[in-house]
């Protein structure tokens, strides 16, 4: 379905289109192209690098900034040997204050230097100059936490994200917009209906498709979607969005890679399944971490025909 302007739920995307289309020449290679390359080499699996306080204690590192540094030193080489993408949840680093942010900055730089694509799971999203600042922080040359992609929440209106869309497009990055989340509490909001009977998640996905068709008429656009691999109604029209899909909730939250294959059967080459806790549970031994990630990555390649 195509997006409807001024629908009263997620807002008008016209502003986002106008801002994003103002400069299109000289774009760098796209996140979609880099993901295609990473998928061919290592498969589509995304390893969530989420060092909760409990995990740091379980690993014997201590729930401290020093323990967080040692976590990165341990997990990053294992990830570089096993997968093509990592996804740090920024909150687990921010909770350690400025030293945690410093560690996150180091993780992003070292991961990208090792050839990994980095999805910053920060779920930002606001309006105006605040979105400008988020773009300055996370996307493109000069950003101190320059990731390949950023998760965002759209509930101030997708149309309010024009500057972030532009920044992602110009930087060859991707914005993953939360459309259907893996937590049950999200269903009340995401399945709410507008006056025409369409759900918030359907409208959002239609608006994402409109943006991507305008920005990348011949391929996959810079605006992706976070879509949990849930067998729930309505089934979303995924292929029309011209988007990549980040699929959270695999492992500890109950979804399986088989669920991912079923839900994204119409576009298996566009889905990025994310696994975190079940892989990190194999630590802190580096060999066991690599083995766990290798096994999950091989299963993802098999099921998603990578």
- Domains of the chain in start order, with CATH, are 14-227+242-303 (3.20.20.70)
pLDDT surpassing 90 at residue 15 = no
Query: Looking at 95, 99, 112, 123, which residue is catalytic?
Result: 123
Predicted pLDDT at 17: 54
* 203 close to 10: Cβ distance less than 8 angstroms: yes
Among residues 221, 125, 169, the alpha carbon closest in space to that of 19 is found at 169
pTM for the whole thing? 0.92
* 118 close to 111: Cβ distance less than 8 angstroms: yes
Query: Model confidence over 41-92: pLDDT tens digits?
Result: 999 999 999 999 999 999 999 999 999 999 999 999 999 999 999 999 999 9
pLDDT surpassing 80 at residue 304 = yes
Predicted pLDDT at 231: 87
SS3 content of the chain, % helix, strand, coil (to 5): 50, 15, 35
The helix-helix angle for 65-82 and 97-113 (nearest 10°) equals 20
Torsion sign, CA atoms 280, 281, 283, 289: negative
Query: Model confidence over 245-261: pLDDT tens digits?
Result: 999 999 988 999 999 99
User: Is 123 among the catalytic positions?
Assistant: yes
pLDDT surpassing 50 at residue 296 = yes
Pair of tokens at residue 3: 């997006």
* 264 close to 237: Cβ distance less than 8 angstroms: no
* Helical spans, DSSP H, in 173-217: 187-190, 200-215
Indicate the pLDDT class of residue 7, thresholds 50, 70 and 90: very low
Query: How many helical (H) and strand (E) elements, i.e. helices and strands, does the chain have?
Result: 13, 8
The dihedrals phi and psi of 162, each to the nearest 5 degrees, come to -55, -45
With a pLDDT cut of 90, the percent of the chain lying above it is: 88
Among residues 270, 234, 276, 280, the alpha carbon closest in space to that of 255 is found at 276
156 Cβ contact partners less than 8 Å away, ≥ 6 residues apart: 11, 125, 126, 127
Query: Model confidence over 90-113: pLDDT tens digits?
Result: 999 999 999 999 999 999 999 999
Angle at 30 between CA 46 and CA 150, to 5 degrees: 50
The dihedrals phi and psi of 81, each to the nearest 5 degrees, come to -85, -15
Query: Model confidence over 123-182: pLDDT tens digits?
Result: 999 999 999 999 999 999 999 999 999 999 999 999 999 999 999 999 999 999 999 999
Query: Model confidence over 175-206: pLDDT tens digits?
Result: 999 999 999 999 999 999 999 999 999 999 99
42 Cβ contact partners less than 8 Å away, ≥ 6 residues apart: 82, 83, 84, 297
Predicted pLDDT at 12: 60
With a pLDDT cut of 70, the percent of the chain lying above it is: 91
Predicted pLDDT at 283: 98
- Give the Cα separation of 249 and 182 in Å (integer): 6
Give, as one character, the DSSP assignment of residue 183: S
């Amino acid at each position: 379905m195509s997006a409807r302007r001024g629908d009263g739920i997620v807002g008008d995307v016209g502003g986002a289109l106008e801002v994003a289309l103002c400069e299109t020449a000289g774009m760098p290679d796209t996140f979609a192209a880099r993901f295609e390359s990473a998928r061919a080499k290592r498969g589509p699996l995304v390893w969530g690098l989420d060092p909760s306080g409990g995990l740091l204690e379980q690993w014997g590192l201590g729930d401290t900034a020093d323990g967080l540094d040692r976590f990165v030193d341990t997990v990053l080489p294992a990830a570089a040997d096993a997968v093509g993408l990592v996804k740090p949840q920024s909150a687990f680093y921010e909770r350690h204050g400025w030293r945690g942010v410093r560690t996150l900055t180091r993780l992003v730089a070292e991961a990208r230097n090792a050839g990994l694509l980095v999805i910053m799971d920060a779920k930002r999203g606001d309006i105006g100059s605040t979105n400008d600042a988020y773009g300055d922080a996370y996307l493109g040359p000069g950003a101190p936490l320059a990731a390949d992609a950023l998760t965002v929440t759209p509930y101030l209106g997708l149309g309010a994200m024009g500057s972030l869309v532009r920044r992602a497009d110009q930087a060859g990055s991707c914005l993953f917009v939360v459309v259907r989340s893996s937590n049950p509490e999200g269903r009340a909001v995401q399945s709410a209906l507008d006056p025409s009977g369409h759900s918030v998640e359907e409208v959002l996905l239609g608006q994402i498709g409109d943006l991507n068709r305008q920005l990348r008429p011949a391929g996959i656009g810079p605006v992706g979607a976070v879509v949990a691999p849930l067998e729930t109604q309505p089934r979303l029209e995924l292929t029309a969005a011209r988007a990549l899909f980040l699929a959270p909730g695999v492992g500890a939250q109950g979804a399986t890679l088989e669920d991912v294959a079923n839900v994204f059967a119409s576009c298996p080459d566009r889905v990025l399944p994310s696994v975190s806790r079940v892989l990190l549970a194999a630590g802190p031994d580096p060999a066991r971490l690599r083995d766990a990630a290798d096994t999950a990555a091989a299963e993802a390649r098999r099921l998603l025909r990578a």
